Amino acid sequence: MFVFANPVGSGSLWFNNLATADGVPVAYDPQARAFLPMPPFCSNRGVIGCNWIAAQQGQLCRSCVMTALAPDPSTANATRNWADTEAAKRWVLDNLGRWHWFRPEDSGVHPVFHMLAEGPTPVQMGHANGVVTISVAEADPVLRVTRRQALDEPYRTMIGHVRHELAHMLWWRLSPRDDFLNAFRAMFGDERTDYHAALQRHYDNGPPTGWQQRFLTSYASAHPHEDWAESATHVMHLTDIADSFVASGLAAPELPSPRWDPYAETDSERLFHIAMGLAMRVNHINRSMGLSDLYPFVLLPSARAKLIFVHNWLRRGLWNSENLRLL
User: What are the boundaries of each domain within the chain?
Assistant: 1-62, 65-157, 175-327
pLDDT digits (tens, 9 = 90+) for 164-209: 999 999 999 999 999 999 999 999 999 999 999 999 999 999 999 9
* Of 99-108, 135-144, 207-216, 318-327, the least confident: 318-327
Identify the bridge partners of residue 79 per DSSP, sorted by sequence position.
Answer: none
* pLDDT score for 316: 84
Q: Measured between alpha carbons, how far is 67 from 137 in angstroms, rounded to an integer?
A: 16
User: What is the dihedral angle through the alpha carbons of 205, 208, 209, 214, rounded to the nearest 10 degrees?
Assistant: -160
Reported confidence tier of residue 152, pLDDT bands at 50, 70, 90: confident
pLDDT at 242 over 60: yes
> For residues 134 and 114, is the Cβ–Cβ distance under 8 A?
yes
Kindly state the helix (H) or strand (E) to which residue 195 belongs, with its residue range. helix 195-205
Give Rg (Cα) of the chain.
Answer: 20
Q: How confident is the model at residue 319 (pLDDT cuts 50, 70, 90)?
A: low
What pLDDT is attached to residue 116? Answer: 96
Q: Is the distance from CB of 93 to CB of 163 less than 8 angstroms?
A: no
The CA-based diameter of the chain, rounded to the nearest angstrom, is 58
Lowest mean pLDDT among 109-113, 150-154, 160-164, 296-300: 150-154
pTM for this prediction = 0.93
- What's the mean pLDDT when you consider all of the chain? 93
Residue 320 has pLDDT above 50, yes or no: no
CA distance 96 to 104: 13
- The DSSP string of 125-164 is -EEETTEEEEEGGGGSHHHHHHHHHHTT-S---HHHHHHH
Q: What is the pLDDT of residues 33-81, one digit of tens each?
A: 999 999 999 999 999 999 999 999 999 999 999 999 999 999 989 999 9
Grade residue 151 by pLDDT with cuts at 50, 70 and 90: confident
Q: In the predicted model, what is the mean pLDDT of residues 292-303?
A: 93
pLDDT at 323: 33
Query: What letter represents residue 60's amino acid?
Result: L
Average pLDDT over residues 234-242: 97
Confidence (pLDDT) at 227: 97
What's the whole-number mean pLDDT along residues 146-171? 93
How confident is the model over 119-137, as a mean pLDDT?
A: 93
Check residue 322 and give its pLDDT.
33
Please compute the mean of the pLDDT values over residues 225-241 and round it to a whole number: 97
